[in-house]
């Protein structure tokens, strides 16, 4: 069960609006790309693929132009 800042009656409030942000954040944490809530920042429209932060940093640091800086 989620520990929300404003309790929604153990899911009753979420059922009324049809959405629980805590559940969607948990889905994201667990890697569920279909129902998880993910944040991209102001450049989100430029995304072509979803990747983990670890993979992104690995990709960025493999760039030969960044070596030795």
Confidence (pTM): 0.53
- Please state, in angstroms and rounded to a whole number, the distance separating the CA atoms of residues 53 and 19: 26
- Please state, in angstroms and rounded to a whole number, the distance separating the CA atoms of residues 26 and 38: 10
pLDDT in tens, the chain (69 residues): 566 666 676 677 777 777 788 888 889 999 898 999 888 788 778 778 878 888 888 888 886 665 555
Q: Chain-centre distance of CA 62, in angstroms?
A: 24
């Amino acid at each position: 069960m989620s520990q929300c800042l404003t309790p929604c009656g153990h899911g009753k409030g979420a059922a009324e609006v049809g959405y629980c942000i805590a559940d969607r954040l948990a889905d994201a944490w667990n890697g569920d790309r279909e129902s998880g809530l993910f944040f991209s920042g102001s450049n989100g429209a430029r995304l072509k693929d979803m990747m983990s932060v670890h993979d992104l940093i690995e990709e960025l640091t493999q760039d030969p132009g960044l070596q030795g800086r």
